[in-house]
Structure 1
Amino acid sequence: MPPTAASPRYEQVTIEDVGTPLAQVTFVVVDLETTGGSPRDSAITEIGAVKIRGGQVLGEFQTLVDPGHEIPPYISVLTGITTAMVSAAPRIGAVLPAFLEFARGAVLVAHNAPFDLGFLKAACAENGVAWPAAASVDTAVLARRLLTRDEVPNCKLATLAPYFSATTSPTHRALDDARATVDVLHGLFERLGPLGVTTLEELSGLTRQIDPERRRKRHLADDVPHGPGVYLFRGPRDEPLYVGTSTDLRTRVRSYFTSGEQRSRITEMVALAQRVDAIPCAHALEAAVRELRLIAEHKPRYNRRSRFPERALWVRLTEEPFPRLSVVRRVRPGAGVFLGPFPDRRAADAAVAAVHEALPLRQCTARLSPRTPVSACALAGMGRCGAPCTGAQSVADYADVAAVFATAVTHDPRPVLAPLLERVDRLAAEERYEDAAVLRDRVAVLVRAVRRRQRLESLAAVPEMVLARPDGAGGWELSVVRLGRLAAAGIAPRGTTVRSVLTDLLATAETVAGADGELTTSVDETELVLRWLEKPGTRLVQLSGTLASPAPGTGAYSGFLARVDTGRDVRDPFADGRSLGTRARPERIASPA
């Protein structure tokens, strides 16, 4: 037996212990050439490996290995590796430590992994080297789970490599085959997105066997067409169970009946499903908008996103002699100044707290009358409020303060944001880092809320616009947007006149009525349209009215938001855990006798 090599220390990593996004996982794709099919009577003749992460090649490893005996002639014919070629190569005991160091901390990938990893494990055991027991991925198994016989006749590497347009062809040489497997792995990963598989932990579910009951429901996808659109799973009482969207309806719906779909709630939904309805759409924007509307209308029990748009929160400047900031759930057009929407109460309270840091708006919730003075609260003594309750501040003077907030929301946020950012810098200079971090995060919430409202309002103020995007086949995807709402969608195929298609679209488009600048549809829908408008390649074909954002708006604070996001990449030890809620009755100072 050869001398025992020093065994490096490894920590066992299993897929169940890892929740890392696939883009952040380091993979080492390995391939071996051997003298036969079993490690019991055969040995390794070549190791090739490629280290990748996030689609980038980080390094390569390749070496011939002396198997210690003659290479059978038929193996030499297959691989091109002869006994003479490996006569001066190192033995496997000398190669293993270098390879294991190259693969340290990575997930091992191989095509038909039991073969390659079986040889490596046997070599480690024979040479007294500890096997790291790293997580592994078998591209052959993945391919069987993700591809159908309609796409490839088998899942051999020689078949998959050209199917995924691999840049290296398999040649039965270790490094070439490893490079080809890298391209196959990336091609398979592209199939994971529609399945919601984004982490290594979720990837492990693809190796599980499919439930026979689920397989028997594949016929539900038989009448679903290809192309973009929305699909609805319906239950025993014809009730909508789940609404989804895809650029290829048939492929997406069929994926629910494969082992690739492992989410427990979706598994339960598929078990209840009795029918799948498909709604073909002109393009992805129409599909996304229809999905939002259907979810809001039916509130399917298995959808989580956008089921209750009415639960969004807004910060409202109340309409009274001495207005205050109030968190509300409904926006009534024309009823005061609003900021938002916010996803939850904590975000809304953070924005309110930031405004109160900059402006002496009252924080009590009682309705005040200029004719009936009351005693002041502690905030007045701290200079945080002008004490309109005592008569110390007139209605006109208080209105000037409230107008600063209204202007910040609709036009120029600088009078509110500038003193807040100066205070953040001052706190940091005084080494009060916790207070600086808390205020910084509140200001970031406020900036994002103002930016969101201004961008949405600018779109909601446009009576009509027509957008066009190339469809990738020489035609155009057309969208008619009125007051921020998608009113019509269509396709002008290659060879047709865009103007004629557009004329028909405009004639049949939905009539949208609403007050100028007020949202006539859900915020989520208007944001979808806005993102579509801002995507590279989108053209503004026709515009009625003006599409503009305030010149002194929030664009100047993009750098600040980027720095905040960068700072949050590392866990913030000063994360604000304090309640931000406004006290209903701040402690009042007793009036002098």
Structure 2
Amino acid sequence: MTALEDLLQLPTARGSEHYAKIRLTDALPRRPGVYLFHDRVDTVFYVGKAKNLRTRVRSYFYGDHRRTVTTMLQELDRIEHRVCATELEAEITELRMIHAHRPRHNRRSKPPKSSHWVKLTKEAFPRLSLVRTQREDGLAYLGPFRSRRSAELVMTAIWEALPIRRCTARPGKRDGQCAAAQLGVSMCPCDGSLSEAEYAPIVEHLRRGIAVDPSLLLDPLAEKMSDMAALRRFEEAAWARDRYRALARALQRRREWQALNRAGLLRVESDTGDGALIERGRLVLAWNGTTGPALTSATAGLDDDWPPTPPSVRIAEETHLIWRWLTGTRVRLLDASGSLALPRRPIPKPSLADVGSHR
């Protein structure tokens, strides 16, 4: 026992089957960081973060009888830890370690094996397509998504907001219109009756909705959500809400990525003294209680070529964590190699938050 907190917790440890393994925590400091649980063959099976490494890890031994915790303690053979300067660094280090090791007990945050994007194709009559790679081809992308299902939900949301082409048939090669065109939910060139000039405004509307004004895509979904709720068709209203949220999230993540890329190299500091050096949405260095490094020739390595969305789910999640810290904490900008600016039009939020209670 090395502290009062250990003495206070001792009664809750009685009867703990694996309490003897608490000796593995002896070297853990009372500082922010990340801990990795290893099994007998030295495989990392769980990664976690903590404001206080020693307190957090020892809490597993103090009467936590959840089946998952009991299983982890049974498998535990060694504890590795990495001290971090700040909580932000711990959060991002945890994310990186989970993606690197793919621990079997990190089920909720387990990274996907592949990423998915929604892409606007480069054709005479562009349509939406699901792809697994993002190319630097100047086209509009949304993503990356953790699953094909998530990508399909966003694509369905756009289909519902705009009568964008859905069929894959070559224009003018069908005797009649496709089913979507017959139902009046899309403008399709499959029977040759639609000209490029007639279709072009729909594509421009979509591009502007993605890059400039998200309300062009979200307002139609919000209107349907309200209409369905007014008709007491709450299940359909909830489906519309889910599509709205998925699309709004994808548009917001794209904004975060582009804003941080335009900013280039950032040196920022919070009012608590936590500082960070951020390069295009990725954490380079963190510190606490010092002024941190100055921006020097490091900016010379930055170029102007970067994809419209993050190149992987891991980078997208890291960018989001940094954006959340920048906008949710009182921080001041010390230096920047570019410009950090927020869009004039925020992403609209759905007004029917209680729809789910009627499902």
TM-score tier, shorter chain, comes to 0.7 to 0.9
**Quick check: 1:458 aligned with 2:259?**
yes
1:318 CA displacement: 2.6
Over the matched positions of the two proteins, sequence identity in percent amounts to: 35
Pick the aligned partner of 1:566 from 351, 354, 359: 354
In the alignment, the residues of structure 2 paired with residue 268 and residue 374 of structure 1 have an alpha-carbon distance, to the nearest angstrom, of 62
SS of match in other structure, 2:94: helix
Matches within 5 A, 1:103-114: none
1:385 CA displacement: 2.4
CA contact (8 A) 2:234 2:358 kept: no
In the alignment, the residues of structure 2 paired with residue 398 and residue 283 of structure 1 have an alpha-carbon distance, to the nearest angstrom, of 52
> In the comparison of the two structures, how many residue pairs are matched?
355
SS of match in other structure, 1:489: strand
In the alignment, the residues of structure 2 paired with residue 296 and residue 446 of structure 1 have an alpha-carbon distance, to the nearest angstrom, of 25
**Quick check: 1:306 aligned with 2:109?**
yes
In the alignment, the residues of structure 1 paired with residue 346 and residue 5 of structure 2 have an alpha-carbon distance, to the nearest angstrom, of 54
1:437 CA displacement: 4.5
Question: Which structure carries more relative contact order (alpha carbon 8 Å, separation 6+)?
Answer: 2
Closer, same or farther in 2 for the Cα pair 1:298/1:512, shift >3 Å? Answer: farther
| 1:69-104: CA deviation from partner (whole Å, max 9, x where unpaired) | xxxxxxxxxxxxxxxxxxxxxxxxxxxxxxxxxxxx
Closer, same or farther in 2 for the Cα pair 1:154/1:535, shift >3 Å? Answer: same
- Letter of the aligned partner of 2:166 in structure 1? Q
Alignment gaps of 5+ in structure 1:
1-147, 156-187, 189-205, 574-593
Closer, same or farther in 2 for the Cα pair 1:332/1:565, shift >3 Å? Answer: farther
1:465 CA displacement: 0.9
**Quick check: 1:548 aligned with 2:341?**
yes
Closer, same or farther in 2 for the Cα pair 1:412/1:240, shift >3 Å? Answer: same
1:246 CA displacement: 0.8
- Letter of the aligned partner of 1:478 in structure 2? G
**Quick check: 1:532 aligned with 2:311?**
no
Pick the aligned partner of 1:379 from 180, 186, 189: 180
In the alignment, the residues of structure 1 paired with residue 297 and residue 60 of structure 2 have an alpha-carbon distance, to the nearest angstrom, of 39
| 1:166-210: CA deviation from partner (whole Å, max 9, x where unpaired) | xxxxxxxxxxxxxxxxxxxxxx9xxxxxxxxxxxxxxxxx96844
**Quick check: 1:519 aligned with 2:290?**
no
1:435 CA displacement: 4.2
Closer, same or farther in 2 for the Cα pair 1:406/1:257, shift >3 Å? Answer: same
Which stretch shows the higher mean deviation, 459-468 or 439-448? Answer: 439-448
Closer, same or farther in 2 for the Cα pair 1:215/1:310, shift >3 Å? Answer: same
CA contact (8 A) 2:257 2:319 kept: yes
Q: Which residue of 2 aligns with 1:480?
A: 277
Closer, same or farther in 2 for the Cα pair 1:267/1:311, shift >3 Å? Answer: farther
SS of match in other structure, 2:164: coil
CA contact (8 A) 2:34 2:48 kept: yes
In the alignment, the residues of structure 1 paired with residue 133 and residue 69 of structure 2 have an alpha-carbon distance, to the nearest angstrom, of 32
Closer, same or farther in 2 for the Cα pair 1:399/1:246, shift >3 Å? Answer: same
In the alignment, the residues of structure 1 paired with residue 97 and residue 265 of structure 2 have an alpha-carbon distance, to the nearest angstrom, of 24
- Letter of the aligned partner of 1:150 in structure 2? A
Q: Which residue of 2 aligns with 1:252?
A: 56
In the alignment, the residues of structure 1 paired with residue 30 and residue 198 of structure 2 have an alpha-carbon distance, to the nearest angstrom, of 64
Matches within 5 A, 1:354-369: 354-364=157-167, 366=168, 368-369=169-170
SS of match in other structure, 2:65: coil
Matches within 5 A, 1:185-204: none
1:525 CA displacement: 0.6
- Letter of the aligned partner of 1:466 in structure 2? R
In the alignment, the residues of structure 2 paired with residue 429 and residue 548 of structure 1 have an alpha-carbon distance, to the nearest angstrom, of 38
Q: Which residue of 2 aligns with 1:151?
A: 4
Matches within 5 A, 1:379-528: 379-427=180-228, 434-471=235-272, 476-493=273-290, 498=291, 501-503=292-294, 515=306, 517-519=308-310, 522-528=315-321
In the alignment, the residues of structure 1 paired with residue 6 and residue 93 of structure 2 have an alpha-carbon distance, to the nearest angstrom, of 37
Matches within 5 A, 1:8-27: none
The TM-score, its normalising length taken from structure 2, stands at 0.85
Matches within 5 A, 1:215-254: 215-254=19-58
CA contact (8 A) 2:136 2:307 kept: no
| 1:325-354: CA deviation from partner (whole Å, max 9, x where unpaired) | 233444344463222344555544333233
- Letter of the aligned partner of 1:443 in structure 2? Y
Closer, same or farther in 2 for the Cα pair 1:373/1:272, shift >3 Å? Answer: same
CA contact (8 A) 2:142 2:254 kept: yes
CA contact (8 A) 1:461 1:484 kept: no
CA contact (8 A) 1:411 1:553 kept: no
Alignment gaps of 5+ in structure 2:
none
1:300 CA displacement: 1.2
CA contact (8 A) 1:412 1:550 kept: no
**Quick check: 1:286 aligned with 2:86?**
no
